[in-house]
Amino acid sequence: MHVFITGGSGLIGSATVAELLGHGHSVLALARSDAAAKAIEAAGAEPHRGDLADLDALRAGAARADGLIHLAFGHDFTSPDAIARAIAEENRALEALGDALIGSGRPLVTVSGTPQVPGRPSTERDPLPTDGPMAGRSRSVAAVLALASRGVRSSAVRMPRTVHSQGGGGFAGMLTQIARRTRVSGYPGDGTQRWPAVHARDAAVLLRLALERAEPGTSWHAVADEGDAVRDIATVVGRRLGLPVKAVPQETYGPLGPVFAADQPSSSTHTRATLGWQPTHPSLLSDLENLQP
Ligand SMILES: NC(=O)c1ccc[n+]([C@@H]2O[C@H](COP(=O)([O-])OP(=O)(O)OC[C@H]3O[C@@H](n4cnc5c(N)ncnc54)[C@H](OP(=O)(O)O)[C@@H]3O)[C@@H](O)[C@H]2O)c1
């Protein structure tokens, strides 16, 4: 397949570009800067200049492709307004990408986070949140999945809180960045809340499988570790960076504070059984051992 990907220069995207190229696909990747274009070219893919706000560039990329993977997202979590802007930008971009595929039967794979269900690991059947800071993303995903009835083989791969590589990425990566800045490896609440995780290379395999085989309108969980206690994550971060490990106020994490404090394990039993996905790369707690002071 000739695949158009957004976010191909990011943590998950670069692993996905490598996974696609390694399985006989060719890749056209959105690049919003010279640096991203260079990285994409070095990876063996073709850069396609433009950004998420450039809907003509998105339509042109989609027109050249047999299938699409959408991963780009502006990760400015500093204020509710910044999050809302990124969600609105993604929403318009996904609308343009989806419209370009209507009636074609071509696949469109998008991403979201795994849902949170009190008292048990969430499954692929649970709905995405309709309130909270990221609820707008759930609406974008629902709109993409609804395109299944309009001739698009749309699917969503739900990512766990931490998609990691070389000790960095996702929520655990944010804990690490804050620890470096504040000189304390903190965690919100009592630290027993659990976050699921996956290695970026395993997530990339699932994105490829969804592109190749997902039935229209389906959702999948890229969950390798069902849930690590956040205190255990902070403990490895603190040991690797030589910093004290302590409970800190939820406000330390800005608008994402309530999300950081919530227990949100997640399962991928259905995904593994149906798509034959089997994660093989290191767990989050092992990968964090790559952190350097
Ligand atoms: N990592 C995780 O733990 C995790 C967990 C749950 C969900 N997700 C979701 O998975 C997706 C990929 O995440 P990631 O960790 O790979 O993110 P990342 O490393 O921050 O990469 C983001 C990618 O999006 C691109 N991008 C951002 N804003 C853009 C814009 N306005 N126009 C064009 N490109 C833009 C970036 O391009 P540049 O290279 O030019 O910056 C980069 O390629 C995101 O939707 C993210 O929310 C990730």
pLDDT tens, 193-231? 999 999 999 999 999 999 999 999 999 999 999 999 999
Alpha helices for the chain (secondary structure H): 11-22, 34-42, 55-63, 80-101, 135-146, 170-182, 200-213, 230-241, 257-261, 269-275, 284-287
Question: Do residues 194 and 119 touch, judged by C-beta distance below 8 A?
Answer: no
Question: Do residues 115 and 158 touch, judged by C-beta distance below 8 A?
Answer: yes
Question: Which residue's CA lies nearest to atom 21 of ligand 1?
Answer: 10
Amino acid found at 35: A
Half-sphere exposure of 273 (CA within 13 A, CB side): 6
Q: Is the pLDDT of residue 171 over 90?
A: yes
Calculate how far, in angstroms, residue 9's C-alpha sits from the geometric centre of ligand 1.
8
* Band of residue 156 on the pLDDT scale cut at 50, 70, 90: very high
Q: Is the pLDDT of residue 132 over 90?
A: no
**What global pTM score does this model have?**
0.97
pLDDT for residue 282: 98
Atom of ligand 1 minimally distant from the CA of 13: 16
Half-sphere exposure of 58 (CA within 13 A, CB side): 26
Average pLDDT over residues 271-285: 98
Q: Which two tokens stand for residue 26?
A: 């060719």
pLDDT for residue 79: 84
Atom of ligand 1 minimally distant from the CA of 8: 43
Of the two residues 204 and 130, the one the predictor is more confident about is 204
160 closest CA partner among 96, 204, 115, 191: 115
* Band of residue 131 on the pLDDT scale cut at 50, 70, 90: confident
